[in-house]
Amino acid sequence: MTGKPAGREHLPANELGASTVSVRGGFEPAVGEGISPPMQLSSTFHHPIDPDPNVLPFSYGRDRSPAFEPIERTIADLEGGRFGLAFNAGMSAAIPLLFEAKPGTALVMPADCYFGIRVYAETEVAPRGVEVRLVDQTDLAAVERALDGASFFWTETPTNPYLAVADLEAIGKLCAAKGVPWATDNTFATPILQNPLEWGATAVMHSVTKYIAGHSDLVMGAVVTNDEALFGRLRAYRGKNGTQPDGFGSWLARRGAQTLAIRVRQQTSSALAIATRLQAHPHVTRVYYPGLPGHPGHEIAAKQMKGGFGGMLSFEVKGGAAEAEAVIAACRVWMPATSLGSVESLIERRARWTGEVAGPALIRLSVGIEDLEDLWHDLERALLAAG
Ligand code: PLP
């Protein structure tokens, strides 16, 4: 018992909008306490000689900690889930979910999801006797066939880097019919625009590094689930492996998340404008953005994404790798860098990564919150200079 006054009750997240939930950030101060939660750097917690875990939840920082509970609660509330867990990277959040696939069965996943997760499954999960089955997740008949003999389905929508859209409602029904648990990487969509638990997902995973933290200054991941047994397994895995986030990163992530909704709204509206203009540009051969009416997943994205199609898009320039590199080199506002979801607009040629499935002329954009016309003029000038 700390002897400190108790914090106020948490607001009922399910009755509030996403901006309100993220601004309150999973923390209610007691009277006299700061309204920004203190940064918690302790690795261990003072306890009585005979600790009762129901009275004192915090014991050692690898298990639970007031350092990361506010950000865990924020992400869980935004996703509409009961349990949230933060990890020291998006990869650390994804890995124990991939290990939900049992030896002697199959793990089904899309070929064009984030390649780091696919490569991990192929190199680290498959050797444990799990068949990794790659499927086109937009082909529901193929997904249905692939689910036979599977014990876990991994999905991502929109995908990295081709912005393919999976139908979460249909996948939820197929997985329920086959009794296969499934998880979605919701990093591109953000919990503001899409909540896969609503469509029956067993778990939602985020690279918090990207939109949720939003400032390119930390690496973190999260899982949200309504399944208490799964939550227990993931927490035990995190505790054994020491893949919990640190106090400073957790504090920064929570602060960044307070502006998530307003950032995503700006990024989404700029991305739609840029995608529309790129489509009409003579040096561009193809644009991949689910907000464009001609995108094959547009209708499905409109059904399952709320208030926009996200801040990520890809496009192909006329020519090949050299032309794409020339465009990137000519940009001054767009920053040539990998990663995404930050306030800064980032540009990169995805095929430069070994293991990535991307054509040589494919350029991926992560639209930031700079002025739209600055972003557009920079890109337009770079396309002309390179073309
Ligand atoms: N999922 C997606 C869609 C990503 O883009 C990334 C990283 O680029 C990850 C997962 C992995 O997250 P992290 O880099 O935080 O480990």
Do residues 363 and 315 make contact, with C-beta atoms less than 8 angstroms apart?
yes
Cα of 161 vs centre of ligand 1, distance in Å, is 12
CB of residue 159 inside a 6 A radius of ligand 1: no
| Two tokens, residue 177 | 């019919």
Contacts 24+ apart (CB under 8 A), 114-118: 114/156, 114/160, 114/185, 114/187, 114/207, 115/160, 115/353, 115/355, 115/356, 115/357, 116/91, 116/355, 117/91, 117/154, 117/156, 117/185, 118/355
Q: Which of 231, 257, 283 is the last residue of a domain?
A: 257
Rounded average pLDDT per 10-residue block, the chain, 387 residues: 63 91 91 93 86 75 94 97 98 98 98 94 98 97 98 97 97 98 98 98 98 98 98 97 98 98 98 98 97 98 97 97 96 97 97 84 97 98 90
Shortest-distance atom of ligand 1 to CA 210: 15
Residues 101 and 133 in one domain: yes
Residues 296 and 279 in one domain: yes
Mutate which of 207, 246, 339 for ligand 1 pocket (most atoms within 8 A of beta carbon): 207
pLDDT at residue number 182? 98
Nearest to 303 by CA among 154, 192, 163, 194: 194
pLDDT at residue number 10? 84
174 vs 143: CA distance, rounded Å: 8
pLDDT at residue number 1? 38
Cis ω before 37 (30° cut-off from 0)? no
| Adjacency order of strands within the sheet including 203-207 | 83-87, 221-225, 203-207, 182-185, 150-156, 106-110, 131-135
10 vs 284: CA distance, rounded Å: 49
Looking up residue 39, the CATH number of its domain turns out to be: 3.40.640.10
Number of structural domains in the chain: 2
Residues 141 and 30 in one domain: yes
Residue with the smallest CA separation from ligand 1 atom 5 is 114
pLDDT at residue number 3? 47
Residues catalogued as catalytic: 62, 114, 185, 210
| Two tokens, residue 381 | 């000038």
pLDDT at residue number 2? 43
Residues 270 and 253 in one domain: no
**Does 5 reside within a domain?**
no
Distance, C-alpha 199 to centroid of its chain: 17
Residue with the smallest CA separation from ligand 1 atom 11 is 90
Residue with the smallest CA separation from ligand 1 atom 8 is 339
Alpha-carbon distance values, 9 to 27, 72, 75, 76, 281 (Å):
9, 17, 18, 17, 53
Shortest-distance atom of ligand 1 to CA 156: 3
pLDDT at residue number 51? 64
Residues 143 and 228 in one domain: yes
pLDDT at residue number 95? 98
Residues 248 and 275 in one domain: no
CB of residue 348 inside a 6 A radius of ligand 1: no
CB of residue 207 inside a 6 A radius of ligand 1: yes
Do residues 234 and 257 make contact, with C-beta atoms less than 8 angstroms apart?
no
Residues 18 and 156 in one domain: yes
pTM for the model stands at: 0.96
